[in-house]
Amino acid sequence: MAIRNLRYEGDDILKKKSREVEVIDDKLQTLIDDMIETMHKYNGVGLAAVQVGILKRVIVIDLYDDKGPIVLINPIIIKTKGEQEVEEGCLSFPNQFAKVIRPAEVVAEYTDRNGKRMRVHAKELLAQAIAHEVDHLNGELFIDKIIPGTLEYIEPEE
Ligand code: NI
């Protein structure tokens, strides 16, 4: 496993649409392991492959609860319900936080890393994370949908 280099604000790749995964091979498994390690290194709750420079529809999410890291390949949001106003950041925008409106609930389908098609009914933070990461796969960034005037720069504590 290895830490991959993150792509940051201003990198054109972040605006590109990622491609469907067609085969789950060793190379993809390595990418997934590296994405999880990279997300953990930077204390993120989610990471999309595009953020490490790979335009594949793969996201990893970890809420640091008993569910462990979740891997979603080719995720599709099939239903959303309600709204939540939430504070949000992104590993590609270090130290920047803003309020955004996300769905309160999300039903998503995805393929897990074993190739099994799955469905998740997510609420609260998980719904927010899935919506944020699926946006990345479509080249959409949270910074373009923030509630005006809510952007804050917060320096990390040493
Ligand atoms: Ni992000």
What token pair was written down for 11? Answer: 């990198």
Query: Residue 56 domain-assigned?
Result: yes
Task: Please check whether residue 158 lies inside any domain of the structure.
Answer: no
Q: Is residue 3 part of a domain?
A: no
37 Cα to the center of ligand 1, angstroms: 16
For residue 75, the surrounding DSSP H or E stretch is strand 70-81
User: Partners of 48 in the beta sheet?
Assistant: 59
pLDDT tens-digit map of 12-68: 999 999 999 999 999 999 999 999 999 999 999 999 999 999 999 999 999 999 988
Give the mean pLDDT of 142-150.
Answer: 96
Concerning whether 88 is annotated as a catalytic residue, the answer is: no
Domain that includes residue 149, residue range: 12-153
Q: Do the beta carbons of residue 17 and residue 137 sit within 8 Å?
A: yes
The catalytic residue among 133, 140, 155, 158 is 133
